Structure 1
């Protein structure tokens, strides 16, 4: 009984530490933006409309949606193919190639961002959506390959062997059998890739020096520079930028948690 009470106390304490900053931002987002607004009341949902219009978040979020769609679509497709190869097949140089993929997880973007910028500028890709998207595709594929390899190696081999005995090709095994079976793992990967892409700050900042392709986090930073004292509008802008990730997580929460638990058990 005492152990259970201690567990609840620890959980409540951690929950308070995690939720307190979020509640603080939400309260600030609905608070009056000025002294004149304070005389009209303490609850101001109009801050979100003002932040959306003055911060031009519509344009920035559209760019973020475009970049996230490109990154997630390409990265998920490539990760499924590479993870399937590493997880179910045996070929020469397999371990070397896999460790090469792992370098994409271990090497931080800050270490390669400058030479990468000059390479993309030589190719004429800077200030385009591809300069912002392709480096993030490479980063996401590195993680996705590792993630899907773990899933495919944990699949019961008898399922694959039975499908091949029935005449199914490797492509048919992947798309018709393993992908539907691995929906929780794939959903978890999609949520993580979307979250990382949406929150990425450095790559869009460097790869679009003219600001032609500012994403939502960059727009929020610019908005902060304009409203250093307007905490209510800043908080409203922060909520707007974070909202798509939160909504996606809640929509896919069941599959996300199941995928995380399955991955933990298999590891």
Structure 2
């Protein structure tokens, strides 16, 4: 009994410490953003006169409305396509298991080891030759390809656990491969699909490197990518820069808080099945 109490206490202490370490950067950003514009705050001192208007000033200075529109367009271009292709490929690798599926799946697994930074130079020249530089397609198309390995691996992990009896029963009723995929397995894969959609949304929204390298116009970047231009213009105004960074975090934080139950449920479902 004493051992159990000690373990529970240790776990709670570690959890509190981890939470404090995680929240400290956000608290620092928030407190700094409330200092008067143009000052250089030190530490976590709360300002005597909090400048809540810094958030509105940062919103206007960065043109957040235009950036929000651009980010939504990029997300709508990347996430649905990645979900569709990843689900279809995951179903083929995990359930249909067509000839050569092991070798094909190995290629996708190797794709997980490919860092964005390692391909940015050849990717730049390829996008340039395609005439897509300084367009949103320069972000959308590479992200779809770069997200494919993880999307396929994630969905295959779900489909490989599906009992074959479901497919056999559907085939007896005359269902083909497409009907089997669309009417039987996709509805059962909604927890995995929703959690993958959340991850893809977060990664796309926070994409920084491709946005600043492949797109010169900040209005056509993601919000995180446009922060580079905002930093160059307001880099000496630390409170305004912190306010802009927090505004960029709001959509991703909101999405995660709203869908966190579904996301955690999908992760636990995968651990139980696996």
Q: Return the TM-score normalized by structure 2.
A: 0.89
Q: What is the alpha-carbon distance in structure 2 between the residues aligned to residue 90 and residue 229 of structure 1?
A: 57
Q: Which moved more, 1:74-83 or 1:61-70?
A: 61-70
State whether structure 2 residue 264 is matched by structure 1 residue 260: no
The Cα shift of 1:231 comes to 2.2
State whether structure 2 residue 27 is matched by structure 1 residue 17: no
Q: What is the alpha-carbon distance in structure 1 between the residues aligned to residue 172 and residue 50 of structure 2?
A: 66
**Where does structure 2 lack aligned partners over 5 or more consecutive residues?**
40-46
- CA-to-aligned-CA distance 1:159-188 (integer Å, 9 cap, x gap): 222222222222222222222222111111
Q: Return the TM-score normalized by structure 1.
A: 0.91
Residue number among 199, 219, 229 corresponding to 1:222 in the alignment:
229
Q: Aligned with 1:127: secondary structure? A: coil
The Cα shift of 1:69 comes to 1.0
- Give the aligned partner of residue 129 of structure 1: 136
Residue number among 112, 118, 122 corresponding to 1:111 in the alignment:
118
Q: Which moved more, 1:223-232 or 1:80-89?
A: 223-232
TM superposition outliers: structure 1 runs of 4+ over 6 Å: none
Say whether the 8 Å CA contact 2:38–2:238 is kept in structure 1: no
- Give the aligned partner of residue 138 of structure 1: 145
- Give the aligned partner of residue 95 of structure 1: 102
Aligned residues: 263
- CA-to-aligned-CA distance 1:35-70 (integer Å, 9 cap, x gap): 7xxxx9633332211101011122222211111110
Pairwise CA RMSD:
1.9
The Cα shift of 1:249 comes to 0.9
- CA-to-aligned-CA distance 1:111-140 (integer Å, 9 cap, x gap): 112112212211212222211110100111
State whether structure 2 residue 62 is matched by structure 1 residue 62: no
Q: What is the alpha-carbon distance in structure 1 between the residues aligned to residue 48 and residue 72 of structure 2?
A: 35
